[in-house]
Structure 1
Amino acid sequence: MTSNKIPTITAEMVKMLRERTGAAMMACKEALTQTQGDLETAIDVLRKAGEIKAAKRAGKIAAEGKISIVADSANQRAFMLEMNCETDFVARDSHFRDFIQKVSVCGLAERVHETEPLLACTLDKNSATTIEQARLALVSQLGENIQLRRVAFLESTGIVGTYCHGDRIGVLLALDQKHPELAKHLAMHVAASHPLAVTPEGVPAAWIAKERDIFLAQAKESGKPEVVIRKMVEGRVNKFLNEVSLVNQPFIKDPNQTVAEVLKSHKAQVITFIRFELGEGIEKQSHHFAKEVEAQLRGNSQGNR
């Protein structure tokens, strides 16, 4: 006579399943009970539950998280990402941060410029698990909506300067010459001053049009003749272009020089830069990150005198 006795679910079995999946203890016990102690089938059960949970969390606002940057040993290639979660508590969680580090290393190795191709990559060489599958598992484990929001990759025959401020602002800056310290300081400058482009010519037309409309509306209130108004508007537009162009900004480390003058003295040029700020465009409490970076830069400058 065949016995239909359900196997005892031991603490060791639950622990083993938890270590393999990262799921909660009770979820592991329930999955093992449901599958009569079959570990592999229990993993499938948890995966399915994780995907359902991930789908439920997808509608939650993910405005916290971390900006991560990794670079090669020669500092000629660098990768940056923004990974979002719902709370600062999870943003500090070791599982969340370990996942980000692995994804960042993969992004650098694969030279990825977009999120979708990166999500399809395997998390590491020793696993068939894709980054997207690992993300869903982490959503299940931590109970929050976790999203890979954006990525960036830069390379240069000169050097790529990188700077990350408190996990919340990240900058990649490509310089055409090998000046590591200058590249680093320029990346810090971009973090603090938030230029829109390297030169005035690079400022997006949409930004210029928006500012011109604002300046025109303000100038018309003066009641001055149309000819004067046009000159006023163009003057303000030119001032705006200088203020938001990296090369025309006063260098934060030495405000007596513009960035263009500093570059000229080093016989170098900025090819391009990319700046991420955590949660840009997402409704969240604002912080004065730029002021923190500026204070840090000024402190370093005084310490080097």
Structure 2
Amino acid sequence: MSNIRAKLLRIVEELSDEEYENLKFFLEDEDKKIKIPRGILKDISKPNLVNTLINYYTSQGATKVLEKVLSKVPRNDLLPIKIGPLTRKISQDRPTKLQENQSARKQKIDSTPKFPGSRITTLRELKELELNDMSYQKDLTVRGKILEKVNHNYINNQAKKMKVFHATIADENDTIQVKVYNREHGEFRKGANIQITNFKYSNGVINVTRNSQINKLASKVIKTTKEVPVLSLREIKQKPEGTFVNGCFEITTFSQPIKGKDKSPLRITITDGSDQINVIIFKPPKILSCEIGKYLKMLGIKVNVYKKEIQLRHQCDSYVKVQ
């Protein structure tokens, strides 16, 4: 790997400043399923660009991508990129230091993604990819520390009993919401460092199912951000429709559902002192007892627009509690 990295760096350093800017421009337009976000490429240094290409496309894929964009710059004199084999003498009797370290790590924890070709991405990079479908992301792996976890049982739209954990995980630069469906408590404990592969990602939420892989990581693997962002109601109103949000806000008014009318919701108005918004809950939980002045804690509530009014709408798997 270091041989390939060094070779690619030597090639990129052959480019003038103008050629390097052209290279980044063509990288933005690469016809790839996974694209490097424009924000990452903007002011990236040449060594970091090489690292990013390898992280996103693997060493072999990075070489092919670089060859393609170099032909557009154009710097055909640098093509083709020839990577010589990396040779090393290995004693038959004694394992190398690398082999010893790998063996020790594997005994402690197996953090290798089950899905070949998947790459580790930061939470911020995941958000910038703007994925918004419910297909499994087999090519991506995320890591984070579980900051918050709430257990919640609910009945889905098919009248089937389901179990979900609402959680927040954090890495060094960002946090993200996670919904974990029908998994065991021991797989997802508050305070644990984890790695998730083969997940779904939509509307700002990572969805983990029985088909996803969760690996526990050593305690020092992940350095988490010191600040966990708390959205104000004004910021929530600026989120795109369909975004899932969390929060805890004061109840100012509420109106109970009309008896005998199944389509009549519980409407709760909440405030954070600077703004207010209505929370709409159809078929509210029987244990939910509203009281003015108390606080409504919400996890997995969806931003909704109804008759030009921005609302928060409860989903069947949302968690709400008055406290």
Q: Same fold (TM over 0.5)?
A: no
Higher-strand-fraction structure: 2
Higher-helix-fraction structure: 1
Q: Which has the larger radius of gyration?
A: 1
- Normalising to structure 1: TM-score of the pair? 0.26
